[in-house]
Structures are given as structure tokens and as C-alpha cells.
Structure 1
Amino acid sequence: MSEDLTLKDLASFEEAYQQTPLANVLARTVQENGVVKASKNYAAKKNHDRTFSIEVKTGKITNQKKSGRCWLFATLNVLRQQVADKLKVKDFEFSQNYDSFYDRLEKTNFYYEKMIELADRPNDDREYLFYLDWGNSDGGQFANGAALIEKYGLVPKSVMPETYTSEHTAELNDVLNLKLKKDTVTLRQMHQDGASDEELRTFKKEQMKDVYRMLVYAFGQPPVEFDFEYRDDDNNYHIDRHLTPKDFLEKYVDFKAEDYTSLVDAPDHELGGHFNMPSQEYIFNGPKVDFLTVATKELKDAVIAQLKDGKAVWFGCDVLKDMDRKEGILDTEYFKQDELFGLDLALDKKKRLESREAACSHAMAFTGVDLVEGKPTKWKVENSWGDENGDKGYFIMTDAWFDAYVYEIIVDKKYLTKAQQEIAAKAVKPLAPWDSLA
């Protein structure tokens, strides 16, 4: 039986507050400055020297602006350096907008297919509601980016630059999802009226034409063929004519999705497991969203091995935790909210995942590490939030922050240990759409 709050309870709460040392002083501090600023720990700044013993050469920072394309930016950021080196163009950048266009188109197709597949489910069915809510947005996984690259190729940013809408996606998301929901109502009614799957898919194809048009309005027309014109860092002029996006990929980028593996630190899952997420595999016949669950140290060892070979590393993390965006700091000791409120707020990684306090909310790239006696103390991070944050866009991450909030890395398979290769050979276990890692 539930119990209501009483006036006696409120009186005891007030008495406990009044007995808290410096309660009114702390209250004024938080009221004036907010929780985050009031909890800053200046002493932690001694750990924020931005010198790293191992660094990957990188160019100017990218900027996803007000969009949720971090996973795609991080994917293209780890690939662009090889093109920059090959062409001798330090600040080379791929067109994120080009692959974003096809990403949203593929998501639309996947959504309609799920609505057809689940048309006979009741309105409160959990799986149906998951995909209804999933709709069409900016988010994605490294494997989705790999699938887009292999299917549609790549183009330089100059060939398909950003638009206002590609950089500010909220308005498009709203109207696109409104259309998808309306079409869902129609599909379900058609099913109830006895329409065949073939008839439902005919309806889908007609709606896809509308979505394609919406995406062209928003992002621009993707190039079918283009001339690649540029000057290198020595001011020499170059032009490569009549390229398709697949031509550009094959000529300038050494990339095969099958060469990469995802290692995940998720202690609420079986250690040494081989899992995948069918709910995230929205590009049919593309690379699967699968991963191996390993210990934290194994993630670090793989990252360090790849960095030593001069290659950046894609990773997923819970970026909003213990972060100073303006200064570009990721440090578990930089904010002391537990001390501010006099509370024990500690939760280990497993408990955070189980309670849904954790989320793999952002993707970036490791581009450096500082090793002291062979052990990492801090990490250099390439973000995609523009050069006004951090050190010209680059963040510093303490090793303790890695332990707490880094969940996934993508590395070349050649950096896997023998034990990890054996895990990869295991049968894959699919995860539910609402799993903690989804």
C-alpha cells in the first residue's frame, strides 16, 4: 500500500536541512551558479596538460552543428587522414551531407518495412511501439556508416556541402516523422482491410518518392558523377574528372567494413560474448551491428595499438557525464556534485547500465594517448563540435573517465588478441531493441 507525505514528514525534512553545515551558503551558491559550476573542482586542472606521448596527425576539426550525426562524423574523421596524406591536403574533409542523405532514405525504407512486418500486432505491442518511436532521426552506429560507404561511396565536402537543414535537423525530423506516422496509420488500415504484402509495398514505394523529394529539398541532390578539383598544400592544382562516388571511394580510400570489429565494455552483459543488434541494422545486406564484450583494459590495449600505428580510433561514450564542453574536458574529478550535496552518488558501470543511467550518447575519435611507464594517463579526443570548444575542437579525457564512460571502440581486426578472435568466431546472440546498449 502506498504512503502519502505528511506534514510531520515535511517538518523532519526541514529540520534535517537546518542541521546541515553551511546549508544556506551552499544553497545560495547553487541557486546563483547552477549545479555544474558550483561543483567544479579547480584542483583537477593539474591533470589537464595537453601533451601526449603518442599522437595521430590530424587536420582542422569538423562541426556537426545542431544535428545528431556524431557517429557519421567520427566514422569519416577516422578515414579522412589517409586521403589527406595521399593528396597532401592537410584539412581534407568528406561530405557528411552526402552520406546523411542516403542514411535518412535507408532509415525510411527500414521503418516502412517494419510497419508492414508488424501490421498485425496490437497497438500496444512492445516491438511495434519501439519502431514507431524509433521513426527516422540522425542517430546511428559505425556499422551503419560502413554500410553507407560501401553501398553509396564517398565524395569530398566541396562536391556536396552542408545545407542549413543538414546542420539543423530538428525541423526536418518533425515533419518527416509526422509523414511516417500518418503513413503507418494508412498501412495498418490497409492490412485490416485485407491488403496483401505486395499492395502494402506498392504503397511504400509511392511514399518513398515523397520522402526522396523531401530529402532533396533539405540536403540537396546527391551527385551521380563529379569532377574533383583541388589545390594541395604546396598550392599545386589538380583535377580528376568524371568520378562517381564509388570511383572516389575505390581510388582514394582504403576501406573494407569487414576489416573492422567493435569491442564493447558492458559489464551488465556476458563477458566474452558475441552480440548483435538487428534493430539497428537498417541497411539491408550491409555490415551487421555486432560486437564483442571485453574488459575495459582490452579496449585500451586495442586503442593504443592502433594509435601507435598512426590511425585514429572511433569510440562511443556517454559524453554528457562529467564534461566541460567549453574547455573540452572529460574528467571524473572535475565535478564534485556528490560533495556539493553531501551524497554518495557512486554507481559502477554495470549498475549504471542496468538502471539506464548510462547511455552511449556520442561518438568521437581517439587521436592520442599519454603513456607513463606503459600505462595510459590521459587521452586526446577529436570531437565534431567545431573549433570553439576545447583546444581548437580537441578534448582531453582522463583515464578514469575512460573507465567510467567509454563503452565501445572500433578497431581493425588485426589488433584483436587471439582470445578476442575466438569470441568473434562464436555464434552471434541477437539483442532486443530495448537492450541497454541499443
Structure 2
Amino acid sequence: MTPLTPVTTSPLSTEHLAALHEVFAADPVLRRTQNAVARVSVDDLAIDHQLATALTTTVSNRIDDWKVTNQKKSGRCWLFAALNLLRAGAKETMGVKEFEFSQNYAMYFDKLERANYFLASILETSQLPEDDRLVAHLLRDVMGDGGQWDMAVNIFKKYGAVPKSAMPETESSSNTGRMNAVLCLLLRRGAGELRALNAAGDTAGVESASERILTEVHRILTVHLGTPPTSFEWEYTDDAKVFHREGVLTPQEFLAKYTTISLDEYVCLVDDPRSEHPKGGTLTVEHLGNVLGAAPVLYLNVDIALAKRLAKEAILDGEPVWFGCDVGPQMVRKEGIWDAGLYDYAGLYGAELAMDKEARVRFGESAMTHAMLLTGVDVLEGQTRRWRVENSWGDENGDQGFYTMADNWFDEYVFEVVVNKNRLSPELRQALAAEPLALPAWDPMGALA
């Protein structure tokens, strides 16, 4: 078969540019739009005011009666959402309305484990050149704050959890940029050192350098985040004014005593819209994880309609739902609302901008960027209309930090929900035991919420 000749565009000529300017200048609507955008935000012009005001915050089924948390200047949303899921049962067990787990404690061990995971990946790929796509990916995404549900489970199962009072926030846990930059520098330098030692066949040198690098990571984390407790004395007063002196507990004992769900019984359902990844099968992503030797990240690929139905059923049963989404598109942050048709940028610019969910994933327009908790759903005559969302951006926006999501936004921008396996059909439960399709490390499904 004769190869196709690539089609290319022509250089932009002065005549072409002049013609474009002439067309623009001749359009009075475009000139008025230009004048407006020079003075106000384009979002203020593109927003559908009627949609924005019609999306009420009330829902027919709401389970939250607590205050939101605040991840501040960090990307710990996945840990906040996971701990917020656990705290629903902890509050009930303790008989208190307000309670927070220590997000700092969970992040400390995630970063320590992730550094070890990174070093192992560097050694595993040490025979590949530095500009290999996998090596370049590993070196680019060294030490961010994001993660996935299974990564949170790995931390909880190994290290337990503690109340916020046992390991409170620090300046660096709430503002992770500088700490992360230092860790990235240390680990990238270490990657070069380990690759050189491994190429020289210096096994002892590799082991010694790996141990030294991990010790330095531990030192930096402890300086920035504090020393995590191995045990602590736990006392509290419940909402009935009864004082409880629980004695000294380890983090593992605290997690087991005060949480009500079995982490092993929950599964992450993902909507991978690409046709080559069949629904009803499992997926994983190479080199995506944090704890060496722990279970890999596992997704069960399902239709978004099924994910919505199971999420609704969980909320109707009083269970909040962890979910991951592409948070930015079609959102008004101040009002705390999402609707798939909220902004008409295409109409404003006179440009074709529509892409379906599959195309957005394929061409880099959409991926998982944020994790939150579903705490309410509005159902009318069996039809889901909107969702109530516990965010972790503080209480200044939305309904004191709770956001409202139109059902059409769920279809377009939600990618994953976590539910109990007992909500799955027998066929889907059986599918969980099958060997997952392994996607490359840089696949969009490996994006960290």
C-alpha cells in the first residue's frame, strides 16, 4: 500500500492575516464582544444566567450534617475525600457531629511510600535511555500531591489513621509547593545516581544509595510535616456531653475501632469512554501506585449510567460516595455549581468547540483532576436531577462549601465512583477477578485526582 502523503498547512502570509483582520472588523457582533471582553471576564459573558440561577441547591435525599474540610494550597483532594468518607462512620461511632481525621498523617506516609515506589520504578527502567517515554514520564511526575482511591486504601491499611489533633496541619501540609519542589530535586538527582550505579553493576552501591535517599526523604518530610505518632492517648466528649477516655491507641487500632466500612469491600468504577476498552472489564495503569507490594490500582470499567445508579443507591442507603472528575469545565466556583451547558463559549466566539467525552479523553482535553464526596441526590419520579457534593476547598463558596452538580455534568465530567462490591451484579463481581488490561503509565486513566 502506498503511504499517504501528509497534509500540511501553508505558512501564514501577510495577505491572509490582513484578510482575517478585515473579516473580524466587518462583524459588529465580534467588535462588541471584543469591547466587552476588554473590560469584564469572558466567563461573565458566556455564562447562561438562567441555568445558573435555576440550579437550586436543595436535594430530596441529603445525608451530610457536618462542616466541610479545607485542603488549602495542596492537591490532597483524594485523601480528603477518602478520609471524609471514613469520618461519616467515625462520627456515628463516637456520637459527635464534627470530627476530622489527620490528612497530614496520611500525606506523610503517602509521600514516603511514593518516594520508595519511585526509586523502584527508576531501577526497573534503568536499562532504558533517559529520553524513553516511560522514563521521561516517571521523571516528570515525581512527587505531586494527587492520588487514586486504591492508593488511599494502601495507606490506611498499612498505617491506619489518627484524629487531626494527633498530627495537626503544618504550614507545609497546607502549602506543599516548596516541600514538593525539594523532594523532586532530591529524587531526580537520586534517579541519575541510581541509574549510573546500576549501569556500572555496583549492586552494593545501589542498595546504599537507595537507603540514603530514602533517609533524606524521611528527614525532609519530618521537618516539613512533623513526626507521625506511633500511638496516642485518645479522649473526647460526645454530643450528649458524655466524656470518653479511650486510653492509648495505635493508628491501626484507631482506624479499626472508629470506622464502619471494610476497605477491601470497595471498588473503583471508572468510565473509560474509549471504544477499545470494553465495558465490564478491569483496567490498571502501569507504574501507578504508592506502596510497593500492595495491591495495584484497579478500575472496573462501566457505563456512566450504571455508576450513577449505584452512587444514587448508596446515598439513598445513607452512604456517601467518593468520586473523581474533571472539576474545572462548566463550573462557577463562587456559587458552587456545575452544569454541562453552563458556559456558551462556542456562541461567544463563533467557533466550533464541542467534543464528546471520548474525544476529550483521546486528545488531552479531559482527565480526572479532583476527588470529592457525593452526599446528596435529588430524585423526582425516579429520575435523578442533581447531586450534592462535599468539596474540600473550605466553606467560602457554594452552600458553605457544599456544591451542586446537575445530572448532565455527571455524565460528561465524572470519571470514577467508589461503591461497595455488594452493589455489583454477579457478572461484574466475577469480572473483578479477571486479569486487568494494563494501560501505559502515561494513559489518561492514570491521571491523579
TM-score normalised by the chain length of structure 2: 0.94
Question: For 1:169-318, what aligned pairs fall within 5 Å after superposition?
Answer: 169-196=176-203, 198-268=204-274, 269-318=277-326
For the 8 Å contact 1:257–1:287, the answer to whether it is kept is no
Question: What's the counterpart of residue 332 of structure 2?
Answer: 324
For the 8 Å contact 1:313–1:367, the answer to whether it is kept is yes
Separation (CA, whole Å) in 1 of partners of 2:336 and 2:366? 21
Alignment: residue pair count? 437
The structure 2 residue matched to 1:89, chosen from 96, 116, 121, is: 96
Question: For 1:39-58, what aligned pairs fall within 5 Å after superposition?
Answer: 39-58=46-65
1:323 deviation in Å? 0.8
SS of match in other structure, 1:17:
helix
Q: Deviations 1:77-123 (Å, cap 9, x if unpaired)?
A: 11101110111111111001001000000010011111122222212
Separation (CA, whole Å) in 1 of partners of 2:205 and 2:54? 63
TM-score normalised by the chain length of structure 1: 0.97
Question: What's the counterpart of residue 147 of structure 1?
Answer: 154
The structure 2 residue matched to 1:355, chosen from 350, 359, 363, is: 363
Letter in 2 for 1:199: G
- Range 335-344 or range 244-253, more displaced: 335-344
Letter in 1 for 2:148: Q
1:39 deviation in Å? 1.1
Question: For 1:376-415, what aligned pairs fall within 5 Å after superposition?
Answer: 376-415=384-423
The structure 2 residue matched to 1:374, chosen from 360, 371, 382, is: 382
Letter in 2 for 1:360: M
SS of match in other structure, 2:278:
coil
For the 8 Å contact 1:146–1:287, the answer to whether it is kept is no
Letter in 1 for 2:14: L
Distance 1:286-1:192 versus aligned 2 partners, 3 A rule: closer
Separation (CA, whole Å) in 2 of partners of 1:151 and 1:411? 21
SS of match in other structure, 1:158:
helix
Give the fraction of aligned pairs with identical amino acids, expressed as a percent: 38
1:19 deviation in Å? 3.3
1:238 deviation in Å? 1.9
Question: What's the counterpart of residue 5 of structure 2?
Answer: none
- Range 406-415 or range 20-29, more displaced: 20-29
Letter in 2 for 1:60: K
For the 8 Å contact 2:89–2:261, the answer to whether it is kept is no
For the 8 Å contact 2:235–2:246, the answer to whether it is kept is yes
Letter in 1 for 2:77: C
Question: What's the counterpart of residue 43 of structure 2?
Answer: 36
The structure 2 residue matched to 1:23, chosen from 21, 27, 30, is: 30
For the 8 Å contact 1:258–1:287, the answer to whether it is kept is no
Please tell me whether residue 336 in structure 1 is matched to residue 344 in structure 2.
yes
Question: What's the counterpart of residue 131 of structure 2?
Answer: 124
For the 8 Å contact 1:353–1:359, the answer to whether it is kept is yes
Q: Deviations 1:289-321 (Å, cap 9, x if unpaired)?
A: 111111111011110111111010000000011
Please tell me whether residue 112 in structure 1 is matched to residue 119 in structure 2.
yes
Unpaired runs of 5+ residues, structure 2, are 1-7
1:414 deviation in Å? 1.1
SS of match in other structure, 1:311:
coil
Separation (CA, whole Å) in 1 of partners of 2:365 and 2:430? 31
Q: Deviations 1:185-231 (Å, cap 9, x if unpaired)?
A: 211222233312x4312211122111111111111100011011222
For the 8 Å contact 2:79–2:103, the answer to whether it is kept is yes
Letter in 2 for 1:363: A
Separation (CA, whole Å) in 1 of partners of 2:279 and 2:27? 43
Q: Deviations 1:110-164 (Å, cap 9, x if unpaired)?
A: 1111112222221211111111112112111010101100000010011111001
1:2 deviation in Å? 5.4
1:239 deviation in Å? 2.0
Q: Deviations 1:330-387 (Å, cap 9, x if unpaired)?
A: 1122211111112221111011011110110000011011011111110000000000
1:41 deviation in Å? 1.4
Q: Deviations 1:9-53 (Å, cap 9, x if unpaired)?
A: 012211221233411111111121122222121111343211111
Question: What's the counterpart of residue 74 of structure 2?
Answer: 67
Separation (CA, whole Å) in 1 of partners of 2:219 and 2:245? 31
SS of match in other structure, 1:138:
coil
